[in-house]
Structure 1
Amino acid sequence: MTDTLAAYSLLLAYSAMAVYAIAFVMYVLDLSRRTGTAEAAAVARTPASTTAAAGARGGTALLERVGTITSRVAESQSRSVNKATRFQRTAFALTIVAAVVHLGAIVLRGLAADRGPWANMYEFSLTGTGIIVVVFVVINLWRDVKFLGAYITGFVVLLLGLAVTNFYVAVTPTPPPLQSYWLYIHISVAMLATGFYAVGGGLSIVQLLQSAREKGRLAKWRFLQTFPSSASLEVMASRLIIVGFAFWTFTLMAGAIWAYHAWGRYWGWDTKEVWTFIIWVVFAGYIHARATRGWRGTRSAWLAIIGLAAVLFNFTIVNLFFQGLHAYSGLTTS
C-alpha cells in the first residue's frame, strides 16, 4: 500500500509539472501580448500629439476633430495595456489546477510515509514548491501580482524537475531525531517563510528591471510598462519579506527548542543552524536598512535578492555537500 501511494504521488507530481509548464508558456505569451499592446499604445499617442499640434497652429476643424478622435483611441489603447489578457487568465487558471494536483501529490506522499511529507530533500522540495504556489495564489487576493506568473511557474517546474529526477527516494522510516511534533511545526513554518521570500524576491527582481526602464534603460522591454512602478513593487516586496521574516524568526526559535529536545543543546554551530542564522541576519539587515538608513530603490532590492539566494544555497548546497546533524537529505548517509 505504501509503495502504491508513493507511486501515485509521483505520478501526480509529474502531472503538476506538466500543467505548470503549460501555464509558464501562457504567462510568457501574455508578456509577449503586453509588449505588442504597449507598442501599439505608444504608436497611437504619437499621431495624436502631432495632430493636436497641427490644430494649434491654425489647422482646420477637421484636423482638430481627427486629433480628438485619435487621442481618445490612444487613451483607450493605453488603458487596455494593463488589462488581463486571455493568456494571463488561462495561465492563472492552469496555475490553480496545477496547485490542486500538486496538493494531491503532497497528501499521497504524506499518507504513504504516515507523517509530514518533508523529512528529506525530495519531500521538502515537493511540499515547499507547493507552498510557494499557494502563497502566490493567495497573495493575488490582496494585490494583483499575476505578472510574476512566469517567474513562479518556471521556478517551480525547475525545482520539481530537480526533485523528481535527482532527489527522489523511496519512503523510509523517520530518523529518530525527526520523530517529534516539532517536525510539523519547525519545517512547515520554514517552508511558509520560504514561500513569502520567493514571491518577495521575485518582486525585487522585477523592481530592478522596472527601475532600469524608468531611468531610460531597457526601453525595448515594453511589457514592463504594464507593470506597477518600481516604487510600488518595492513596497509590495518589503511587506511580503517582513511577513516571511516573522515566520523565519519563529523557525529559528523553534529549531533551537527542537535541538534542545533532540541533542540536549539549543545551539551547536551546525552548518544548517549557521546558514539559518545567516539568512535571518540578511533579512534583518534588509528591514533595518530600509527603516533607519533610508535604503530604498536598487540597494534594498539587491539585499532581498541576496537573501533569497542564501535561502536557495541553504536548501541545495548545504543539504547536499555539507555534513552535520541536519544531514537528512535522504541521498547520503549521515
Structure 2
Amino acid sequence: MAVNETLSTYSDMAYATSVVLYMFAMLLYFAEFSYKRSANPAAAAQRERELVGAGGGSAAGTGVGRVETPAKRPMAERLGGMAVAITVLGALVHGASLIARGVSTGRAPWGNMYEFGSSICLAAVLAWLIVLYRQSRKVHRDTTAVQLRALGGFLMLPVAVLLFLSGTVLYAEASQLEPALQSYWIVIHVSAAIVSTGVLLLAGVASLLYLVRVRHENSPEKMAAVGSRLPGSRALDRVAYRATVIIFPVWTFAIVAGAIWAEAAWGRFWGWDPKETVSFIAWIVYAAYLHARATAGWRGVRSAWINVFGLAVMIFNLFFINIVVAGLHSYAGI
C-alpha cells in the first residue's frame, strides 16, 4: 500500500501543533503553581465554603429578592482552568496526528520510535486528564482536583521533552512496517506497552513529587518555595499507587503478549533479548512497589523510591535499549 503523502503531512503538522499546545499548557500550569500559596487543606476547605456561600446565600442572609454576586475566581485557579482546557485541545490534536499517520500508512501508528514516543505521550496526557476528571466530580466535597493541578506542569515537562526528541532526533518518514513487524500482534502487544508506559510515567512523576512534598512536610524550612505549593502527600501517593495498581496487569499482559509474538516470529517464547530482559526487570520493580505498599514498614517514602526507580528503568528501556543496544527489538527506524 502506497503512503498517502498528503495525510502524512497533515499528521506532522498536527503533531507540531500539539507540541506547541502542550508547552503552552505547561507554562500555564507552572504559572498557576507560582501563584498558589502553600497547599493548606484547612485553608482550602475554608475558601471552598466561602465560594459556595458567596454564590448561593440564604434569604435570611441576603434579603428577599437580593442577588448575591459570585466571588471572583483567584488568578491561580483561572490559569489552571486554562491549562486544562489547552491540554484537552492538545490531546485532541495529538490524537488526530496519530490517526492521520495510521490512515496514511494503512497500519497501526506505532511502527518506529517517533510514532512510539508520540503514542506514549498521548497515553500519559489522557491518563492525567482522566485523573483530573474523576477528581473534579467531587470538587464540592474537597479541593483535591484543584490541588492536583499542580502536578500538571511537572507531567507536561517530560511529555514536551519526549515529543520534541521524537519529532526531531527520532523522526521517521511515514512508511510501511518492516517485515518482522507485519503482524496483528503489533496492535495487541505494542498498544498494551504504550498505554502501560504512559500511565507509569504519570505514576513516576507523582511519586517523585511525593518525595519532594514529604521532605517539605518533615523539614518546612527546606525547599519551601516548591514543596509548600505541591498537592498534599496523601493525594500524590494515592495517584501514584492507583495508577500503578491499575496498569500493572496491562504491563503484565504486554510482556506475555510479547512472548507469544516472539514464539510465532522467532520460534521461542523467551530468549533474554535486551528488550525482554529490561522489560522483565521493570515488571519485577513494579511488583516490588506494589508489595512494598502492602508492607507496613515500606509504605510511604521507601515505596515511592521504588516507583521512581521503576520509572528510571522504563526510560532506560525506552531510549538506551531501543536505540543504543543491538537486539531483535532494534526497530528504531532513525
- Which bin holds the TM-score, normalised by the shorter protein? 0.7 to 0.9
Deviation, 1:163, is: 0.7
Choose from 6, 26, 40 the match for 2:8.
Answer: 6
Q: Which amino acid aligns with 1:260?
A: E
> Which residue of the other structure, out of 104, 117, 135, is the alignment partner of 1:112?
104
Alpha-carbon shift at residue 206 of structure 1 (Å): 1.4
The aligned residue for residue 251 of structure 2 is 248
Looking at structure 1, the residues matched to 330 and 244 of structure 2 have their Cα atoms a distance apart, in angstroms, of 28
Q: Which amino acid aligns with 2:94?
A: H
Q: CA 1:217 to 1:82, structure 2 compared with 1: closer, same or farther past 3 Å? A: farther
Where does residue 237 of structure 1 map in the other structure?
Answer: 240
- Pick from 68, 79, 91: which aligns with 2:83? 91
Query: How far, CA to CA, are the matches of 2:280 and 2:99 in structure 1?
Result: 30
SS at match of 1:28: helix
Q: Which has the higher helix share?
A: 1
Deviation at 1:78, TM superposition (A): 11
Distance 1:200 1:5, change over 3 A: same
Cα drift, residue 96 of structure 1:
0.3
Shift, 1:130, TM fit:
1.0
In the aligned structure 2, how far is the partner of 1:125 from the partner of 1:176? 21
CA contact (8 A) 2:35 2:76 kept: no
Question: Unaligned regions of 5+ residues in structure 2, if any?
Answer: 52-72, 136-144
Residue-by-residue CA offset, 1:16-54 (whole Å, 9 max, x unaligned): 11111111111111011103xx49x9xxx9xxxxxxxxx
1:218 Cα deviation after fit? 5.2
Of 325, 330, 334 in structure 1, the residue corresponding to residue 328 of structure 2 is 325
Instruction: Work out whether residues 193 and 243 of structure 1, in 8 Å CA contact, stay in contact via their aligned partners in 2.
Output: no
* Aligned position for 1:196: 199
1:259–1:320 CA distance, 2 compared to 1 (3 A): same
Q: Which residue number corresponds to residue 291 of structure 2?
A: 288
Instruction: Decide which moves more: 174-183 or 321-330.
Output: 174-183
Cα drift, residue 106 of structure 1 = 0.5
Out of 295, 307, 310, the position equivalent to 1:304 is 307
Q: How many angstroms does 1:199 deviate by?
A: 1.2
CA distance in 2, matches of 1:164, 1:155: 14
Aligned length: 298
The corresponding residue for 2:171 is 168
Identity over aligned pairs, percent: 36
Distance 2:215 2:200 in 1: 23
How far, CA to CA, are the matches of 2:241 and 2:278 in structure 1?
A: 22
Q: 1:241 to 1:84 in 2, by over 3 A?
A: farther
Q: Residues 289, 82 of structure 1: CA spacing in aligned structure 2 closer, same or farther, 3 A cutoff?
A: farther
Instruction: Establish whether residue 147 from structure 1 lines up as the match of residue 139 from structure 2.
Output: no
Residue 189 of structure 1: SS of its match in structure 2?
helix
Contact 1:21 1:157 in 2 (8 A): yes
Letter in 2 for 1:32: S
Partner of 1:52: none
2:21/2:90 contact within 8 Å kept: yes
Secondary structure at the counterpart of residue 297 of structure 2: coil
Whole-angstrom CA distance in 1 between matches of 2:214 and 2:49 = 20
1:113 alignment partner AA = T
Supply the distance in 1 between the matched residues of 2:185 and 2:238 (Cα, whole angstroms).
Answer: 33
Unaligned runs of 5+ residues in structure 1 are 46-71
Cα distance, 1:305 vs structure 2: 0.5
CA distance, structure 1, for counterparts of residue 201 and residue 236 of structure 2: 14
Retained in 2: the 8 A contact 1:148–1:203? yes
- Between stretches 254-263 and 168-177, larger displacement belongs to 168-177
What's the CA shift string for 1:52-94, capped at 9, x where partnerless? xxxxxxxxxxxxxxxxxxxx9x955998899961000000000
The answer to whether the 8 A contact 1:34-1:223 is kept is: no
16-25 or 146-155: bigger deviation: 146-155
Q: Which amino acid counterpart does residue 22 of structure 2 have in structure 1?
A: Y
- Which structure's CA Rg is the greater one? 1
Report the RMSD for the aligned CA atoms in angstroms: 2.6
Q: What is the DSSP-based 3-state SS (H/G/I as helix, E as strand, rest coil) of the residue aligned with 2:287?
A: helix
1:111 partner amino acid? V
Could you tell me whether the CA contact under 8 Å between 1:207 and 1:301 is conserved in 2? Answer: yes
Q: Name the CA distance, whole Å, in 1 between partners of 2:104 and 2:235.
A: 44
* Residues 212 and 218 in structure 1, CA contact (< 8 A), matched pair in contact too: no
> What is the deviation of 1:235?
2.7
Shift in Å at residue 183 of structure 1?
0.4
Distance 1:4 1:151, change over 3 A: same
Q: Deviations over 1:111-158 (max 9, x none)?
A: 112100111100101111111111111121223332211012211111
Q: CA deviation at 1:9?
A: 0.8
